[in-house]
Amino acid sequence: DTEVTQTPKHLVMGMTNKKSLKCEQHMGHRAMYWYKQKAKKPPELMFVYSYEKLSINESVPSRFSPECPNSSLLNLHLHALQPEDSALYLCASSRGGEVHETQYFGPGTRLLVL
Amino acid sequence: GQNIDQPTEMTATEGAIVQINCTYQTSGFNGLFWYQQHAGEAPTFLSYNVLDGLEEKGRFSSFLSRSKGYSYLLLKELQMKDSASYLCAVAVQAGTALIFGKGTTLSVSS
């Protein structure tokens, strides 16, 4: 089983709203990632959690706030977003702690900020 | 800096063979991945190379030359469903995220 699930699939929000994206995996992976992908562009890393600790934060604006409640769950809290934040938000996971790892992606949440 | 180059678009016909090239210059190297992404969907893992040589998986093969900073993805017996974007990605070091190329959009026609 190499499934990463994400909810919701689609989200429309106003610039004053607060919403959360959720990601879950039950593969026993200990590394989880958030990527942002704009149309016709490659995924760009936002955050990496390794063993539930934030290990990489690629200078993402504070209106994006990640949270890793446990090894299976990863959230991305959204607040006061801008229209340019509209994108596909991808969650991925990998085993963690190994030299060579494959990242498996979830289906993504397509976000539209109005 | 990190740089991964691949052609923007390629076209081919059903049943043909197509090779998608990828060159990279990165600060480190811990493996190269190929992902397939259909429009509006998540990337799907295709292959992983960390040692030089050819890895074959059914209709898809991937090749790596670390000394040349070069990889290719070979797709045989093309089908219409192979129309997608193909992303080359490098793991710069263990335990870090991937750096993606801009992707190659492959269009397969009948």
Instruction: Give the model confidence (pLDDT) of B45-66 as tens digits.
Output: 999 999 999 999 899 999 999 9
pLDDT tens by residue, B67-80: 999 999 999 999 99
- Res. A98: pLDDT tops 80: no
Greater model confidence, A1 or A92 = A92
Q: For residues B58 and B31, give the distance between their C-alpha atoms in angstroms, rounded to a whole number.
A: 21
Q: For residues B99 and A43, give the distance between their C-alpha atoms in angstroms, rounded to a whole number.
A: 8
Q: For residues B9 and B3, give the distance between their C-alpha atoms in angstroms, rounded to a whole number.
A: 18
Instruction: List the single residue in B33, B94, B99 with the smallest CB-CB distance to A99.
Output: B94
For B45, name the nearest residue in chain A, comparing CA atoms only. A104
Q: What integer best gives the mean pLDDT of chain A? A: 92
Q: For A79-83, A99-103, B51-55, which range has the lowest pLDDT when averaged over its residues?
A: A99-103
Helix (H, G, I), strand (E, B) or coil at B33: strand
pLDDT tens by residue, A17-41: 999 999 999 999 999 999 999 988 8
- Res. A1: pLDDT tops 60: no
For A107, name the nearest residue in chain B, comparing CA atoms only. B42
- Res. B95: pLDDT tops 70: no
Instruction: List the single residue in B97, B99, B100 with the smallest CB-CB distance to A48.
Output: B97
What pLDDT was estimated at residue A31? 92
Beta strand spans in chain B (E): 3-5, 9-13, 18-25, 32-37, 44-49, 53-57, 60-65, 70-75, 84-91, 98-100, 104-109
pLDDT tens by residue, B4-36: 999 999 999 999 999 999 999 998 898 999 999
B97 and A90 in contact by Cβ < 8 A?
Answer: no
What pLDDT was estimated at residue B56? 93
Q: Give the pLDDT band of residue A2 (cuts 50, 70, 90).
A: low
A96 and B97 in contact by Cβ < 8 A?
Answer: no
Q: Which pair of structure tokens corresponds to residue A75?
A: 């959230």
B89 to chain A, closest Cα gap in Å: 9
B86 neighbors B103 (Cβ within 8 angstroms): yes
